[in-house]
Amino acid sequence: MVLPAYDSFVHRANRDGTTDSICKNCFITVCTSTWETELAGAERDHVCDPSVVARWKNMQDHTHQESD
């Protein structure tokens, strides 16, 4: 699944002044940097590992089944 870049990542500020870029699809931290351009480049180049995405989907499906 390809998501638009502006919607695919969240940024988390760290105490040391760096920012983490986290993929909303596979939940991997794709980059930690103090430079926005470095975050943008890592986000542009990031490709989700299908096995990681499948594992998260499995966990999510299992959690939803338990709550029903």
The rounded distance, in Å, linking the Cα atoms of 14 and 12 is: 6
Q: Whole-model pTM?
A: 0.72
Q: Whose CA is closest to 18, among 39, 1, 42, 4?
A: 39
pLDDT in tens, the chain (68 residues): 454 455 799 999 999 999 999 999 999 999 999 999 999 999 999 999 999 888 888 877 766 566 65
Domain ranges of the chain: 5-67
By the 8 A CB rule, do 10 and 22 touch? yes
H-run or E-run covering 22:
strand 19-23
Neighbours of 23 (CB within 10 A): 22
Query: Position of tokens 């502006």?
Result: 6
Query: What's the confidence (pLDDT) of residue 7?
Result: 79
Query: What's the confidence (pLDDT) of residue 4?
Result: 47
Query: What's the confidence (pLDDT) of residue 68?
Result: 57
